[in-house]
Amino acid sequence: MSNNYLSELDHNDIRIVSTLDSLPHRSSTERISVELDIPSRSIRYRLSKLKEKNILKEQTVITHERKLGIRESFIIIEENPKYRETFQKIIGENPALSWYVPTSGKFQGFILHSINTMNVPDYPQQLLALMKENEIVNDYFHFEIIDYQEFGWNYNYFNTEGKWIWNWKIWEDNIRNKNYNQESVVFEENPEVTNFDYLDIQILKNLILFESITQKEIGKKLALSESQIGRRIRSMEQSGIIRGYRTGFAPFSETQTVMCMIKIGDSFDRIVNILKQIPYPKTIAFENRQSIGFGFQIPTNEMKGFLNGLHCLRPLIDSYFVQYQLRSPTFNPQISFDLFDKGSNDLNRVVKEYERSLEFVKAI
């Protein structure tokens, strides 16, 4: 089918990628070779080909912003087309509003990503409320991420030929037959800010901006030894600042990014366990035990199957709505990192950026 690259993959490709996902960050091809009994040379060749075709990217770091004293939110905007340029000017000039993308769904407008610092007023909410009052936007939905979990591919749905065999009827039947785990979901409702400093921020910045950078190369940039960089990375992993690493395996050429916002009653664990059954890489974000956000990329030709399954889930939840990203976000993570002040070891510059935006809107 033209909608995927799977015809270019075989069973050994899937074995290599799944093993890469299961091993510690940046494990050597020699270690993968031992795990799979495939020559290292063959593994390097296959990984190189997958990267050439953009089916596989370097592993990227997953951070817990709350541990860094950052309040992270998604805001879904119902735009006022008359004032689109004004909206884009306000967002484009505030680095704490790191990216936005067009969206379609319940809200016709944009999905906006914002960061704020802890123990200050909710500036993103204030800014959007003022923009709504001044008719720059028609409406908005605000979701603050308190905690979240990321899940990778369920490689069990690749068969022995390397073909994807998932069928959404599996999910529908599991929902109807209550065939899912009943385990308690770990949700840290009040994540504490952990100890970190300017050098930790610079290490994270380099890991995110330069996906293939080595610890030795980071050390040269920051005038630290490779062992010092390694110790700091391990410390951030242990404290939860670094939650893990994501392997950029993308076997489908045509995908749709979907965000589903769900309001639930007393079925928090049940709903999360049901969503975890979906075998694609996904993020489940928690605002509280009654409000969760679910985001993932799905092959475009499977959208109907997902929506049918979501309809089966409706009796278990209070309400939900779906938003589609119309393109991938374009953003520079360095801008957010540059908001961190070395002297005060905090993100207080974020406050100044919001106050500047608020003054601009008030003057319109």
**Which residue ranges does the chain devote to CATH 1.10.10?**
198-239
CA distances for 297 relative to 60, 103, 231, 251, 311, angstroms = 17, 14, 34, 11, 19
Determine the pLDDT at residue 121: 87
DSSP 124-193: HHHHHHHHHHTTSEEEEEEEEESEEEEE---GGGB-TTS-B---HHHHHHHHHTT-S--PPPP--SSPPP
Determine the pLDDT at residue 182: 80
**Which residue ranges does the chain devote to CATH 3.30.70.920?**
65-144+346-362
Determine the pLDDT at residue 331: 67
CATH class of 65-144+346-362: alpha beta
Residue whose C-alpha is closest to residue 204's, from 84, 345, 108, 61: 61
Read off the amino acid at residue 290: Q
For the chain, the average pLDDT equals: 92
For residue 5, is pLDDT > 80? no
Q: How many CB atoms lie within 10 A of CB 276?
A: 17
Encode pLDDT of 87-141 as tens digits: 999 999 999 998 899 999 999 999 999 999 988 889 999 999 999 999 999 999 9
For residue 6, is pLDDT > 80? no
Averaged pLDDT for residues 220-226:
96
For residue 312, is pLDDT > 60? yes
Determine the pLDDT at residue 246: 87
Determine the pLDDT at residue 285: 97
For residue 41, is pLDDT > 50? yes
For residue 292, is pLDDT > 90? yes
In percent, how much of the chain has pLDDT > 70? 98
Encode pLDDT of 14-37 as tens digits: 999 999 999 888 888 999 999 999
CB 25 within 8 A of CB 59: yes
For residue 175, is pLDDT > 60? yes
Determine the pLDDT at residue 181: 80
Determine the pLDDT at residue 230: 95
CATH class of 198-239: mainly alpha
